[in-house]
Amino acid sequence: MAEKRMQKKKKTYLIGRLWHYLSRHKLLIVFALLCMFTSNILALFGPKLSGNAIDAMGIGAGDVDFPKVFYYVGLMLVFYIVSGVLSYILSLLMIRLSRHVIYEMRKDVFNKLSILPVGFFDRYQTGDIISVISYDIDTVNQSFSNDLLQVLQSIVIVVFSLVMMLSIAPVLVLVFAVTIPLSIVFTKFITTRVRPLFRNRSKKLGELNGFVEEMIGGQKTTKAYGQEQQVIDRFDRKNKEAVSAYNKAEYYGTLTGPSVNFINNLSLVFVSVFGALMYLNGSIGLGNISSFVQYSRKFSGPINEIANIIGELQSAFAAAERVFRLMDEMPETPDAEGAAVLSDVYGEVTAEHVSFGYVPQKTIIHDFSMRAKKGSLVAIVGPTGAGKTTIINLLMRFYDVDSGAIYVDDHNIQEITRSSLRGAYSMVLQDTWLFYGTIFENIAYGKENATTEEVIEAAKAAKIHDYIESLPQGYQTVLSDNGINISKGQKQLLTIARAMLLDCNMLILDEATSNVDTRTEQQIQAAMRELMRNKTCFVIAHRLSTIKNADNILVIRDGDIEEQGTHEELMAKNGFYAKLYYAQFETY
- Over the stretch 343-372, which tens digit does the pLDDT of each residue have? 888 888 999 999 998 887 788 888 888 888
Class assignment of domain 349-583?
Answer: alpha beta
Share of the chain above pLDDT 70, in %: 87
How far is residue 340's CA from residue 343's CA, in Å, rounded to a whole number? 9
Overall average pLDDT of the 480-509 stretch = 77
User: Residue 373 carries which side chain, given as an amino acid letter?
Assistant: K
291-339: per-residue pLDDT in tens? 777 777 777 767 666 766 766 677 778 888 888 888 888 888 888 888 8
532-564: per-residue pLDDT in tens? 677 888 888 777 766 778 888 888 888 888 888
Overall average pLDDT of the 500-525 stretch = 72
Overall average pLDDT of the 507-535 stretch = 68
How far is residue 457's CA from residue 451's CA, in Å, rounded to a whole number? 10
Task: Please report how many Cα atoms fall inside a 13 Å half-sphere around the Cα of residue 503, on the Cβ side.
Answer: 7
Same fold, 18-327 and 349-583: no
Higher pLDDT, 523 or 161: 161
For 397-425, b where at least 16 C-beta lie within 10 A, e where not — what string?
Answer: bbbebeebebbbbebebbebbbebbbbbb
Indicate the domain borders of the chain: 18-327, 349-583
Name the fold adopted by 18-327.
Answer: ABC transporter transmembrane region fold (1.20.1560)
The 10 Å Cβ neighbour count of residue 30 is: 11
386-417: per-residue pLDDT in tens? 888 888 889 988 888 999 999 998 889 999 99
pLDDT at residue 569 above 60?
yes
pLDDT of residue 407: 92
How far is residue 464's CA from residue 457's CA, in Å, rounded to a whole number? 10
User: Residue 447 carries which side chain, given as an amino acid letter?
Assistant: K
Question: Cβ distance 324 to 14 under 8 Å?
Answer: yes
∠ CA 424-426-431, rounded to 5°: 145
Higher pLDDT, 231 or 86: 86
